Amino acid sequence: MSNRFEAVLITRDEEKRQSVDFVELSEDELMEGDVTVAVKASTVNYKDGLAITGKAPVVRRFPMIPGVDFAGTVTRSSHPGWKEGAKVILNGWGVGETHYGAYAGRARVSGDWLVPLPPDMSPRDAMTIGTAGYTAMLCVMALERHGISPDRGPVIVTGASGGVGSVAISLLAELGYEVVASTGRLSEEGYLRELGAREIIPREELSGPARPLGKERWAGGIDAVGSHTLANVLSMTCYGGAVAACGLAQGMDLPATVAPLILRGVSLLGIDSVMAPKALRLEAWRRLSLELNREKMSKLSASIPFSDVIKAGEEIVAGRVRGRLVIQM
Domains (range + CATH), the chain: 4-117+298-328 (3.90.180.10), 130-270 (3.40.50.720)
The mean pLDDT of 248-267, rounded to a whole number, is: 96
Q: Is beta strand 237-245 parallel, antiparallel or unpaired with respect to 106-109?
A: unpaired
Which three-class secondary structure state does DSSP give residue 289? helix
Q: Give the whole-angstrom CA distance, residue 144 versus residue 129.
A: 20
Q: Give the whole-angstrom CA distance, residue 111 versus residue 86.
A: 11
pLDDT of residue 95: 97
Q: What is the dihedral of CA 141, 143, 145, 148, to 10 degrees?
A: -130
Model confidence, pTM: 0.91
Q: What percent of the chain has pLDDT over 70?
A: 99
Give the angle 180-186-187 at the CA atoms, nearest 5°: 130
Least confident stretch, 31-45, 203-217, 291-305? 291-305
pLDDT of residue 2: 60
pLDDT of residue 185: 86
